[in-house]
Homo-oligomer: A and B are copies of this chain.
Amino acid sequence: MIKIQQNTLYGEAAARIRDMINEGKLLPGTRIPEKQLCEHFGISRTPLREALKVLASEGMVELLPNRGARVMRLTRQMLEETYNVMGALEGLSGELACRYATEAEVADIQALHYQMMAHYQRREIRPYFEFNQQIHDAIMAASRNEVLKETYSSLSYRIQRVRYSTTMIDEYWDQAVADHEAMIECLVARDGERLGSILREHLRHKLVVAAASGVIDESPATSAT
Protein backbone atom coordinates (compact mmCIF):
# COMPACT_ATOMS: atom_id res chain seq x y z
CA MET A 1 0.00 0.00 0.00
CA ILE A 2 1.14 3.51 -0.76
CA LYS A 3 2.08 5.01 2.55
CA ILE A 4 0.26 8.12 3.45
CA GLN A 5 2.69 10.59 4.89
CA GLN A 6 1.06 11.21 8.22
CA ASN A 7 4.33 12.31 9.70
CA THR A 8 4.78 15.17 7.29
CA LEU A 9 2.83 18.37 7.59
CA TYR A 10 1.31 18.18 4.14
CA GLY A 11 0.15 14.60 4.75
CA GLU A 12 -1.40 15.59 8.02
CA ALA A 13 -3.07 18.59 6.40
CA ALA A 14 -4.45 16.46 3.56
CA ALA A 15 -5.94 13.98 6.02
CA ARG A 16 -7.53 16.70 8.07
CA ILE A 17 -8.99 18.49 5.08
CA ARG A 18 -10.41 15.20 3.82
CA ASP A 19 -12.09 14.69 7.17
CA MET A 20 -13.40 18.24 7.22
CA ILE A 21 -14.97 17.70 3.83
CA ASN A 22 -16.55 14.40 4.82
CA GLU A 23 -17.82 15.84 8.07
CA GLY A 24 -19.38 18.73 6.24
CA LYS A 25 -17.15 21.37 7.79
CA LEU A 26 -16.15 22.42 4.30
CA LEU A 27 -19.17 22.66 2.04
CA PRO A 28 -19.14 21.58 -1.62
CA GLY A 29 -18.54 24.38 -4.03
CA THR A 30 -17.27 26.73 -1.37
CA ARG A 31 -13.90 28.27 -1.69
CA ILE A 32 -11.22 26.89 0.56
CA PRO A 33 -9.43 29.85 2.10
CA GLU A 34 -5.73 29.05 2.25
CA LYS A 35 -4.77 31.61 4.83
CA GLN A 36 -7.56 30.71 7.19
CA LEU A 37 -6.77 26.99 7.04
CA CYS A 38 -3.08 27.70 7.57
CA GLU A 39 -3.88 29.53 10.76
CA HIS A 40 -6.33 26.84 11.82
CA PHE A 41 -3.71 24.12 11.35
CA GLY A 42 -0.82 26.25 12.50
CA ILE A 43 1.26 25.64 9.40
CA SER A 44 2.54 27.73 6.54
CA ARG A 45 1.08 27.85 3.07
CA THR A 46 3.67 25.58 1.47
CA PRO A 47 2.56 22.27 3.02
CA LEU A 48 -1.08 23.29 2.85
CA ARG A 49 -0.87 23.95 -0.86
CA GLU A 50 0.89 20.62 -1.36
CA ALA A 51 -1.98 18.96 0.46
CA LEU A 52 -4.49 20.67 -1.82
CA LYS A 53 -2.65 19.41 -4.88
CA VAL A 54 -2.89 15.86 -3.59
CA LEU A 55 -6.56 16.22 -2.76
CA ALA A 56 -7.19 17.62 -6.21
CA SER A 57 -5.61 14.62 -7.86
CA GLU A 58 -7.79 12.45 -5.63
CA GLY A 59 -10.84 14.29 -6.88
CA MET A 60 -11.78 15.65 -3.47
CA VAL A 61 -11.26 19.29 -4.40
CA GLU A 62 -10.97 21.17 -7.64
CA LEU A 63 -8.24 23.68 -8.32
CA LEU A 64 -9.15 26.71 -10.37
CA PRO A 65 -6.00 28.43 -11.63
CA ASN A 66 -5.44 31.71 -9.82
CA ARG A 67 -8.79 31.29 -8.13
CA GLY A 68 -8.02 28.85 -5.39
CA ALA A 69 -9.43 25.53 -4.36
CA ARG A 70 -13.04 24.52 -3.98
CA VAL A 71 -14.57 21.43 -2.47
CA MET A 72 -15.63 19.24 -5.37
CA ARG A 73 -19.35 19.23 -5.87
CA LEU A 74 -21.11 15.96 -6.36
CA THR A 75 -23.54 16.08 -9.21
CA ARG A 76 -26.01 13.31 -9.86
CA GLN A 77 -24.06 12.52 -13.00
CA MET A 78 -20.76 12.16 -11.14
CA LEU A 79 -22.32 10.08 -8.42
CA GLU A 80 -23.82 7.74 -10.99
CA GLU A 81 -20.50 7.42 -12.77
CA THR A 82 -18.65 6.81 -9.55
CA TYR A 83 -21.08 4.16 -8.37
CA ASN A 84 -20.72 2.36 -11.66
CA VAL A 85 -16.95 2.33 -11.42
CA MET A 86 -17.04 1.24 -7.80
CA GLY A 87 -19.41 -1.52 -8.80
CA ALA A 88 -16.96 -2.80 -11.37
CA LEU A 89 -14.19 -2.74 -8.78
CA GLU A 90 -16.31 -4.52 -6.20
CA GLY A 91 -17.13 -7.11 -8.80
CA LEU A 92 -13.45 -7.79 -9.28
CA SER A 93 -12.91 -7.91 -5.54
CA GLY A 94 -15.59 -10.57 -5.29
CA GLU A 95 -14.07 -12.67 -8.04
CA LEU A 96 -10.63 -12.49 -6.49
CA ALA A 97 -11.89 -13.03 -2.97
CA CYS A 98 -13.49 -16.30 -4.02
CA ARG A 99 -10.12 -17.36 -5.35
CA TYR A 100 -7.87 -16.14 -2.56
CA ALA A 101 -9.83 -15.83 0.66
CA THR A 102 -8.82 -18.20 3.41
CA GLU A 103 -11.47 -20.27 5.12
CA ALA A 104 -10.98 -18.10 8.18
CA GLU A 105 -11.69 -14.99 6.15
CA VAL A 106 -14.83 -16.52 4.70
CA ALA A 107 -15.96 -17.42 8.19
CA ASP A 108 -15.29 -13.88 9.40
CA ILE A 109 -17.29 -12.42 6.57
CA GLN A 110 -20.13 -14.79 7.33
CA ALA A 111 -20.04 -13.69 10.94
CA LEU A 112 -20.19 -10.04 9.90
CA HIS A 113 -23.10 -10.91 7.66
CA TYR A 114 -25.13 -12.39 10.50
CA GLN A 115 -24.41 -9.43 12.70
CA MET A 116 -25.53 -7.15 9.92
CA MET A 117 -28.68 -9.20 9.46
CA ALA A 118 -29.51 -8.81 13.12
CA HIS A 119 -29.46 -5.04 12.74
CA TYR A 120 -31.50 -5.32 9.57
CA GLN A 121 -34.19 -7.23 11.42
CA ARG A 122 -34.31 -4.55 14.07
CA ARG A 123 -34.15 -1.79 11.44
CA GLU A 124 -31.11 -0.29 13.11
CA ILE A 125 -29.78 1.68 10.22
CA ARG A 126 -26.48 3.00 11.54
CA PRO A 127 -25.10 -0.30 12.82
CA TYR A 128 -26.41 -1.96 9.68
CA PHE A 129 -24.32 0.42 7.59
CA GLU A 130 -21.29 -0.20 9.76
CA PHE A 131 -21.35 -3.94 9.23
CA ASN A 132 -22.30 -3.54 5.60
CA GLN A 133 -19.19 -1.46 5.05
CA GLN A 134 -17.10 -3.95 7.01
CA ILE A 135 -18.27 -6.80 4.82
CA HIS A 136 -17.35 -4.99 1.63
CA ASP A 137 -13.99 -4.02 3.11
CA ALA A 138 -13.35 -7.59 4.17
CA ILE A 139 -14.06 -8.86 0.67
CA MET A 140 -11.76 -6.19 -0.69
CA ALA A 141 -9.04 -7.27 1.73
CA ALA A 142 -9.48 -10.91 0.78
CA SER A 143 -8.97 -10.09 -2.88
CA ARG A 144 -5.23 -9.66 -2.28
CA ASN A 145 -4.99 -6.75 -4.65
CA GLU A 146 -3.56 -3.55 -3.21
CA VAL A 147 -4.02 -1.56 -6.40
CA LEU A 148 -7.68 -2.48 -6.37
CA LYS A 149 -8.02 -1.53 -2.75
CA GLU A 150 -6.37 1.84 -3.24
CA THR A 151 -8.34 2.66 -6.35
CA TYR A 152 -11.55 1.73 -4.63
CA SER A 153 -10.91 3.70 -1.48
CA SER A 154 -9.94 6.76 -3.45
CA LEU A 155 -13.34 6.71 -5.14
CA SER A 156 -15.00 5.81 -1.88
CA TYR A 157 -13.56 8.88 -0.21
CA ARG A 158 -14.94 11.15 -2.87
CA ILE A 159 -18.53 10.16 -2.21
CA GLN A 160 -18.20 9.42 1.48
CA ARG A 161 -20.27 12.44 2.42
CA VAL A 162 -23.38 11.20 0.64
CA ARG A 163 -22.83 7.49 0.97
CA TYR A 164 -24.48 6.91 4.29
CA SER A 165 -26.61 9.96 4.52
CA THR A 166 -29.47 8.40 2.65
CA THR A 167 -32.62 7.38 4.38
CA MET A 168 -33.32 3.76 3.64
CA ILE A 169 -36.30 2.96 1.50
CA ASP A 170 -37.65 -0.44 2.57
CA GLU A 171 -37.81 -1.77 -0.94
CA TYR A 172 -34.16 -0.96 -1.57
CA TRP A 173 -33.12 -2.23 1.81
CA ASP A 174 -34.76 -5.60 1.19
CA GLN A 175 -33.05 -5.83 -2.19
CA ALA A 176 -29.65 -5.00 -0.68
CA VAL A 177 -30.09 -7.66 1.97
CA ALA A 178 -31.14 -10.22 -0.63
CA ASP A 179 -27.96 -9.39 -2.53
CA HIS A 180 -25.95 -9.93 0.62
CA GLU A 181 -27.53 -13.31 1.26
CA ALA A 182 -26.61 -14.38 -2.25
CA MET A 183 -23.10 -12.96 -1.85
CA ILE A 184 -22.41 -15.09 1.16
CA GLU A 185 -23.65 -18.17 -0.65
CA CYS A 186 -21.31 -17.45 -3.56
CA LEU A 187 -18.37 -16.81 -1.30
CA VAL A 188 -18.85 -20.05 0.57
CA ALA A 189 -19.31 -21.91 -2.71
CA ARG A 190 -16.32 -20.04 -4.18
CA ASP A 191 -18.44 -19.02 -7.12
CA GLY A 192 -16.40 -16.00 -8.15
CA GLU A 193 -18.19 -15.34 -11.39
CA ARG A 194 -21.59 -15.07 -9.81
CA LEU A 195 -20.32 -13.08 -6.82
CA GLY A 196 -18.67 -10.73 -9.29
CA SER A 197 -21.86 -10.10 -11.18
CA ILE A 198 -23.90 -9.61 -8.03
CA LEU A 199 -21.44 -7.06 -6.74
CA ARG A 200 -21.28 -5.25 -10.06
CA GLU A 201 -25.04 -4.67 -9.81
CA HIS A 202 -25.24 -4.25 -6.07
CA LEU A 203 -24.42 -0.55 -5.94
CA ARG A 204 -26.60 0.34 -8.88
CA HIS A 205 -29.73 0.27 -6.74
CA LYS A 206 -28.19 2.56 -4.22
CA LEU A 207 -27.95 5.29 -6.78
CA VAL A 208 -31.70 5.57 -7.09
CA VAL A 209 -31.99 6.06 -3.38
CA ALA A 210 -29.31 8.72 -3.32
CA ALA A 211 -30.91 10.52 -6.22
CA ALA A 212 -34.24 10.48 -4.43
CA SER A 213 -32.95 12.01 -1.24
CA GLY A 214 -31.66 15.54 -1.54
CA VAL A 215 -27.99 14.92 -0.79
CA ILE A 216 -26.61 15.60 -4.21
CA ASP A 217 -26.23 18.72 -6.22
CA GLU A 218 -28.65 18.72 -9.12
CA SER A 219 -28.09 22.32 -10.14
CA PRO A 220 -26.10 23.01 -13.31
CA ALA A 221 -22.40 23.71 -13.27
CA THR A 222 -22.65 27.28 -12.09
CA SER A 223 -19.94 28.00 -9.58
CA ALA A 224 -21.42 28.04 -6.15
CA THR A 225 -20.64 30.98 -3.95
Binding site for B on A (CB under 8 A): 2, 5, 7-8, 10, 46, 49-50, 53-54, 56-59, 62-63, 65, 78, 81-82, 84-85, 87-89, 91-92, 96, 145-148, 150-151, 155, 200
Contacts and interface: CB of A to CB of B under 8 A. Distances in A.
**Interface SS of chain A: helix, strand, loop or mixed?**
helix
- Most B-side CB within 10 Å, residue of A10, A50, A53, A151: A53
A145 B85 contact: yes
Nearest to A96: B84
A140 to B, nearest CB: 12
A58 B154 CA distance: 11
A92 B96 contact: no
A68 to B, nearest CB: 13
23 contacts: A5-B63, A5-B65, A7-B65, A8-B65, A10-B53, A46-B46, A49-B50, A53-B54, A54-B56, A57-B57, A57-B58, A81-B145, A81-B148, A82-B147, A84-B147, A84-B148, A85-B145, A85-B147, A85-B151, A87-B92, A88-B89, A89-B89, A151-B155
Taking each of A62, A82, A89, A151, which has the highest tally of chain B beta carbons within 10 Å of its own beta carbon? A151
A8 B68 CA distance: 13
Contacts of A56: 2, 54
Contacts of A155: 147, 151
A160 to B, nearest CB: 15
Given A7-B65, A85-B148, A151-B151, A57 B59 contact: no
Contacts of A91: 88
B89 A85 contact: yes
Contacts of A82: 147
A145 B150 CA distance: 20
